[in-house]
Amino acid sequence: MRFGVVLFPGSNCEQDVVHAAQTLGLTAEYVWHGDTDLSGFDAVVLPGGFSYGDYIRCGAVARFSPVMAEVVRFAERGGPVLGICNGFQILTEAHLLPGALLRNTGLKFICHPQPLRVERSVCHWLDLPEGTVVDIPVNHNEGNYYCDDETLERLNANGQVVLRYCEPDGTRAPGGSAPNGALDDIAGVCNERGNVFGLMPHPERAVDPLVGTTDGRPFFTAIAKRLAEVAG
Amino acid sequence: MARYEVYVTYKQGIFDPPGATAERALANLGYEGVRSVKIGKYIQIEADAGLETVREMCERLLANPVIEDYRIVTEGEA
């Protein structure tokens, strides 16, 4: 099991992803944004950060990096792709995931541990039971998920909403539990096939007991387990 | 060489937090008649390119059609 962690100019969470994978006994290597070869990788992670300085829009420039054409092909072949924070923004800009990430409604950069509710979904990256509450840090300025009504209906019907922001007990506040104003409290979505997954929170920062929570571990181990099973 | 001005704004119905903040700030300054403030982007382009090509630039990179509208004003020869 080998993760490829794509490094764009301005990425800053790639080391955390590699550290998380290694902590869990998995192998992860960096992939330069100018590379066009993903052969040898079993899964690809687009890490958080500020690719290309967030110029034009978050992820708008990164999606045209040479490596992204290969990431699109990798995803089309069914390869697992995970986008965390800026990586999620890049995946929406690349049309690998529906919707867009808008500026947080409160205009504040938010940075704190955040309870998230696992929804029943087709996502390949997570095998936690529906209703599980995980505590994972959020750290972003543009995490306010938006899509049109028709897309939202489709996401709900297809089981593409993977995670929702929630209260510590797993319920959702009547006015919404999203700290950034996200539509329907959506924190993470996957594509229809389930192999491409994007989320604003940072599971790679919740792997080492040193930082107080290990709730992020399943976000890396579930896909490793799944790939091992497929390989037989 | 032609010169274009591109205005990128949020689509109708999409909440614009900086615009809403400016709207409240203007009200705090005592401007009572302010109904709405929207903040967008203004882009100047000088290029050997026709309007169709500039439209394509907007669709692919300068605007995100999921959340934004754009308006191109042709300014004539640069």
* A2-231: CATH, from 3.40.640.10, 1.10.300.10, 3.40.50.880, 3.30.70.270: 3.40.50.880
Identify which of B18, B75, B12 has the alpha carbon closest to the alpha carbon of residue B45. Answer: B75
Residue B75 has pLDDT above 90, yes or no: no
CATH code for the domain of B30:
3.30.1280.10
Domain carrying residue B73: 2-77
| Known active-site residue A204 | yes
- The pair of structure tokens assigned to B39 is 């903040």
Total structural domains in chain B?
1
Write out pLDDT tens, residues A93-144: 999 999 999 999 988 999 999 999 999 999 999 999 999 999 999 999 999 9
Question: What confidence score (pLDDT) does residue A50 get?
Answer: 97
For chain B, the distance separating the N- and C-terminal CA atoms, rounded to the nearest angstrom, is 6
Count residue pairs from A and B with Cβ separation < 8 A: 33
Write out pLDDT tens, residues A176-230: 999 999 999 999 999 999 999 999 999 999 999 998 899 999 999 999 999 999 8
Contact call for residues A147 and A155 (beta carbons, < 8 A): yes
Write out pLDDT tens, residues B1-59: 899 999 999 999 898 988 999 999 999 999 999 999 999 999 999 999 999 999 999 99
Q: Is B61 on the interface with A (CB under 8 A)?
A: yes
Question: What confidence score (pLDDT) does residue A232 get?
Answer: 74
Burial group, residue A34, by CB count within 10 angstroms (0-12, 13-18, 19+)? exposed
For B62, nearest residue in chain A (alpha carbons): A56
Judged by CB atoms closer than 8 Å, whether chains meet at A99 and B66 is answered as yes
**Distance of CA A112 to CAs A12, A138, A180, Å?**
17, 6, 12
pLDDT range class, residue A1, cuts 50, 70, 90: confident
Please count the other Cβ atoms lying within 10 Å of the Cβ belonging to residue A107: 11
| Known active-site residue A93 | no
Question: What confidence score (pLDDT) does residue B78 get?
Answer: 55
| Known active-site residue A14 | no
d(CA B29, CA B19): 15
Domain-by-domain residue ranges, chain A? 2-231
d(CA A199, CA A87): 8
Judged by DSSP in three states, A68 sits in helix
- Identify the active-site residue in A33, A124, A140, A202: A202
